Amino acid sequence: MTATTRADLIDALRIKLAQLDHMGEHLDYTSRKVSVRFPMLSLAGLNPDELEVLAAFKGRYAEFQDHLAAAMRLVARIEEVNVNAFTYVINYMEKIGVISSAEAWNDARAVRNDAAHAYSDDAAEQAGFFNQVYAKTPFLFETLAALRDFCRRTYPEGN
C-alpha cells in the first residue's frame, strides 16, 4: 500500500471543494424555495409538495455539513494536525479562522444530527427543527467560503 502524499491530499481537497460548490448550489436553491416560510410555527396544513421540499432541505443541509467536515479533515491532514478526534480538527479550524468558534460548529453539527436521527409527530416541534436548519444554513456557507479562502492562500494552484 502506498503512502498518501501531501500533493495527493491537496488534489483530494480540490475535488472535495468542487463537490461542495455543487452541493452548495443545491442547498442554496432549496433554501431559497423554503425561505418564504420562515420562521415556521407548525408544519400542519402543508401539502405533500411543500413537505417534500422541506425533506430535501433537511437532507441537503445534512449532506453539505458532512462533506464540509470531510474537507476540514483533509486540511487538517495536509497540515499534519491529529485527526483521530474531530475535536482537534475543529479546534484547528477555529485557530485558522475557518469557523468562528468550536461551539458554532458543534451547534450546526447538532442540527445535522437531529436532521438524521430526530423524529417527532408534533407539527410545532417539527417546525422548530426546520427553523434551526434554516438559521444554521448561512453558517455552513460562511464556513465553506472561509475554508475556500484559506485553501486559495495556502495551496495555490500549480504548487
The model carries a pTM of 0.92
Q: Which of 61-70, 105-114, 119-128, 130-139 has the lowest mean pLDDT?
A: 119-128
Query: pLDDT tens across 27-75, in order?
Result: 999 999 999 889 999 989 899 999 999 999 999 999 999 999 999 999 9
Secondary structure (DSSP) of the chain: -PPPPHHHHHHHHHHHHHHHHHHHHHHHHHHHHHGGGPSPS--TT--HHHHHHHHHHHHHHHHHHHHHHHHHHHHHHHTT---SSHHHHHHHHHHTTSSS-HHHHHHHHHHHHHHHH---S-HHHHHHHHHHHHHHHHHHHHHHHHHHHHHHHHS-TT-
pLDDT in tens, 64-106: 999 999 999 999 999 999 999 999 999 999 999 999 999 999 9
Domains of the chain: 6-47+54-154 (1.20.120)
